[in-house]
Chain A
Amino acid sequence: MRIKDKRWIRFRIYITGVCFFLVFCLILLRAYQLQILKGSQLSSLAKKGYTGKLTLTSQRGTIFDRNGKELALSIEVDSLYCNPKKIKNKRTTATHLARALDLDKRDVLKKLHSSRSFAWIKRKVTPEEIKSVRELNITGIDFTNENRRYYPCMEAGAHVIGFANQDDRGLEGIELQYNRYLEGQEARFSMLHDALRRTLVFDGSKIEEQDPFNLILTLDKDISYKAQKALRNAVQRSRARSGVCIVMRPQTGEILAMAVVPEFNPNIFWQYQPYEWRNRAITDCFEPGSTQKTFLLAGALEEGVISSETVLNCEKGEYAIGRFIIHDSHPFEMLKVSEIIKFSSNIGAIKIGQRLGAERFNYYLKQFGFGEKTGIDFPGEREGILRPIRNMSLVGKNTLYFGQGLSVSPLQLAMAFGAIANGGHLMRPYIVKSIVDQKGETIRNFYPLIRRDVISHETAEKVRGILEGVVRKDGTAPKAAIKKYSVAGKTGTAQKVDPINKTYSNKKFVAVFGGFTPSDSPALVILVALDEPKGVPYGGVVAAPVFSDVGYWSLNHLNVAPSFPPPTRLPRYNRGRDGGQVNKILRILLKEKREP
């Protein structure tokens, strides 16, 4: 090769090298521009392309009873919506949809004619409805997930639990009171997706989330059911306007059941009238009638102005106060204080009251919690009416002794009976036991709270003893007695005030029975009130059987030992097929118990 040729080749190599070098410099410059100068801007632009945020609405928290049984829970259901702009034949579509979803055709057509690109057709549809709509295969109709609230116990405990609306917002009861804990907040998640918008990595890193909490109530689902059933039957039997039954633990103030009639099914609450949703145990007030004598007795015994053996003149059933004459249902003459309560003598109550004095009685009524809210964690509580004594006439002061001229709520009355059952300690009632998170860890506990000591333990014992007489055969409420368990209680038959005449009606009454069982070691306080029962309106006739029924069932359910000693000889059960076997087993069990 000639030297000239060699030089030419070298020159070309140099030129190529320089070109490569220049291209490399350009690449470097571009890289510098993309990575350094525009780096942050471009990387954020790219991130937008492959990351996204997913917004999920978390489900409303679950409500459990005291034994962990579900009382209210939410599940996902499908809701049907449409894009009216995509629907071609609107009239035919409306006809098909109305038929499949059991809707009014005109309503559906109105929605399909909407100018918006989204309209609900039907929310929270059933699986059958979904199937029939899918079979129609209509363009512009689609489904989306929503949460729906279910109440498996239906009417039992409905007035306490309340309900939530279509948008998962609590409207009544505990659902309303604890809405901020139960309500599911919107949860936003960051995620990566590919060009087809498929989720690539769902790393679960939450940007913002607030899981709802679950509530554990003091209610017992089984006792609630029993109370509701017994009350429903009593209201139907007596043709009363309404009824209330409260079951409570006196030592703690825990509400085990709060049954109300008229009842409603919270799963379909919109089919009922608002007055049927009302928890009358808390919102309605009435004159307590003779049940008030219990607290008169407690006050008088506490002050030492009487004893259970004090004998008072009951004036043969007629007693004049100014120009008014007070009557008793029977013409009693001389009665012991215990008999005054047992036979529910109004004149006897006036005589006790006169010894105690209206001011002191009023003081004790306030101490028992009348005229003030109980502090229950429930919306809409009423405090009732307890007027100052100075505003009362002479007859007003005297009739107050047997429960006229004031109004109380069933819950106040139950709590006052609870104070006697609980040795004089007035408790705060409560419905929510604890708030727990989704992992079951307790966030907040609610504990029993003594509001005040009303009477001494000794006085409470004396009152208990006297109230036991009310349920004996010759008392006013033998129907409240519970076999094998001791019962203490008091009847009340309060006349209602006629709103037109503003006088006491002779036809409209509130029948009440309040008490506790077993009276020697109270496990339950039960209050039953029936509004305007027809026929015989006495509390001892219409309300007392509900007390007995609910009490007996609940004591067995709670495994409360009977008050009276079991028989030493076993009864024979030969009726059933296994009667002999049962007797044999029982004999073995008793023998084993006795031998050591």
Chain B
Amino acid sequence: MNKKKNGSIKVSHFFAMMLFLFLLAGISYVWVNSKRTQMGYSLSHIKKEIGQIREYNRKLKLEIASLKSPGRLESKAGEEFDLRYPLPQQIVFLP
């Protein structure tokens, strides 16, 4: 009688363990999926930000190119700093 009782306890323990593992696996699966979705959103957000930064970078490049355009530099140098091109006799060529 005791042997029979011990056997049924072991079986119920086994089933409880199996149920626990099944639940654990299920929870883990849901958690991983949820994390994956969150990562997806943040990845998408970062990609968008990269696109915006790249575009901003291009705009800055255009601004630099415009600010460094020879015409603008020449007029600024003349107007603001009173700079002039040196005359041929003012240039010394070093040997």
A202 x B92 contact (CB < 8 A): no
A590 x B62 contact (CB < 8 A): no
* 5 examples of A-B residue contacts, CB within 8 angstroms: A70-B65, A73-B58, A76-B58, A156-B69, A202-B43
| Interface residue? B94 (CB, 8 A) | yes
Chain B residue contacts of A70, Cβ below 8 A: 61-62, 65
B62 x A150 contact (CB < 8 A): yes
Interface bits A536-575 vs B (CB < 8 Å: 1, else 0): 0000000000000000110010000110011000110100
Q: A154-B71, A221-B70, A225-B71 are in contact. Are A75 and B43 (CB under 8 A)?
A: no
Shortest C-beta distance, B92 to chain A (Å), equals 6
A202 to B45, CA, bound (A): 9
A562 to B58, CA, bound (A): 40
A48 to B90, CA, bound (A): 75
B92 x A192 contact (CB < 8 A): no
A73 x B62 contact (CB < 8 A): yes
Chain A residue contacts of B89, Cβ below 8 A: 483, 571
B69 x A199 contact (CB < 8 A): no
A220 to B40, CA, bound (A): 47
A311 to B71, CA, bound (A): 50
Interface centre among A191, A202, A566, A589 (most CB of B within 10 A): A202
Chain A residue contacts of B92, Cβ below 8 A: 566, 570-571, 586
Q: Enumerate the 4 nearest inter-chain pairs by beta-carbon distance, A residue then B residue, closest first.
A: A152-B65, A225-B70, A201-B40, A483-B88
B70 x A152 contact (CB < 8 A): no
Interface bits B32-62 vs A (CB < 8 Å: 1, else 0): 0000010011011001100000010011011
Interface residues on B, range: 20 to 34
| Interface residue? A198 (CB, 8 A) | yes
Chain A residue contacts of B44, Cβ below 8 A: 191, 198-202
A192 x B40 contact (CB < 8 A): yes
A589 to B95, CA, bound (A): 9
A76 x B55 contact (CB < 8 A): yes
A570 to B94, CA, bound (A): 10
B interface: dominant SS: helix
Shortest C-beta distance, A586 to chain B (Å), equals 6
8 Å CB contact of B68 from A69, A198, A204, A571:
A69
B95 x A566 contact (CB < 8 A): yes
A153 to B64, CA, bound (A): 11
Interface bits A142-159 vs B (CB < 8 Å: 1, else 0): 000000001011101000
A75 x B58 contact (CB < 8 A): yes
A73 x B61 contact (CB < 8 A): yes
| Interface residue? A366 (CB, 8 A) | no
B47 x A202 contact (CB < 8 A): yes
Interface bits B80-95 vs A (CB < 8 Å: 1, else 0): 0000010011111111
Shortest C-beta distance, B69 to chain A (Å), equals 5
Q: A152-B69, A204-B47, A222-B70 are in contact. Are A75 and B62 (CB under 8 A)?
A: yes
| Interface residue? A593 (CB, 8 A) | yes
| Interface residue? A484 (CB, 8 A) | yes
Q: Which residues of A contact B (CB under 8 A)?
A: 59, 69-70, 73-76, 150, 152-154, 156, 191-192, 198-204, 221-222, 225-226, 229, 483-484, 552-553, 556, 561-562, 565-566, 570-571, 573, 586, 589-590, 593
| Interface residue? B66 (CB, 8 A) | yes
A202 to B92, CA, bound (A): 61
Q: Which residues of B contact A (CB under 8 A)?
A: 37, 40-41, 43-44, 47-48, 55, 58-59, 61-62, 65-66, 68-71, 85, 88-95
A566 x B94 contact (CB < 8 A): yes
A24 to B60, CA, bound (A): 66
Interface centre among B44, B62, B70 (most CB of A within 10 A): B70
Interface centre among B37, B66, B92 (most CB of A within 10 A): B92
Q: A75-B58, A484-B88 are in contact. Are A156 and B43 (CB under 8 A)?
A: no
Shortest C-beta distance, A256 to chain B (Å), equals 14
A302 to B90, CA, bound (A): 42
Shortest C-beta distance, B70 to chain A (Å), equals 4
Chain B residue contacts of A74, Cβ below 8 A: 58
Task: Knowing that A70-B65, A156-B69, A200-B41 touch, tell me 17 more A-B residue pairs with CB under 8 angstroms.
Answer: A74-B58, A152-B65, A152-B66, A153-B69, A198-B41, A201-B40, A202-B47, A204-B47, A225-B71, A484-B91, A561-B93, A566-B94, A566-B95, A570-B92, A571-B89, A571-B92, A586-B94
Shortest C-beta distance, B75 to chain A (Å), equals 11
A565 to B37, CA, bound (A): 75
Chain A residue contacts of B69, Cβ below 8 A: 152-154, 156, 225
Chain A residue contacts of B66, Cβ below 8 A: 150, 152
Chain B residue contacts of A552, Cβ below 8 A: 88
Chain A residue contacts of B88, Cβ below 8 A: 483-484, 552
Shortest C-beta distance, A419 to chain B (Å), equals 29
Q: A199-B44, A483-B88, A484-B88 are in contact. Are A156 and B71 (CB under 8 A)?
A: yes
Shortest C-beta distance, B64 to chain A (Å), equals 8
Chain A residue contacts of B48, Cβ below 8 A: 202
8 Å CB contact of A590 from B41, B70, B94:
B94
A150 to B62, CA, bound (A): 8
8 Å CB contact of B40 from A200, A204, A226, A561:
A200
Q: A153-B70, A200-B40 are in contact. Are A562 and B93 (CB under 8 A)?
A: yes
A201 x B43 contact (CB < 8 A): yes
Shortest C-beta distance, A484 to chain B (Å), equals 7
A545 to B86, CA, bound (A): 17
Chain A residue contacts of B47, Cβ below 8 A: 202, 204
Chain B residue contacts of A221, Cβ below 8 A: 70
Chain B residue contacts of A200, Cβ below 8 A: 37, 40-41, 44
Chain A residue contacts of B65, Cβ below 8 A: 69-70, 73, 152-153
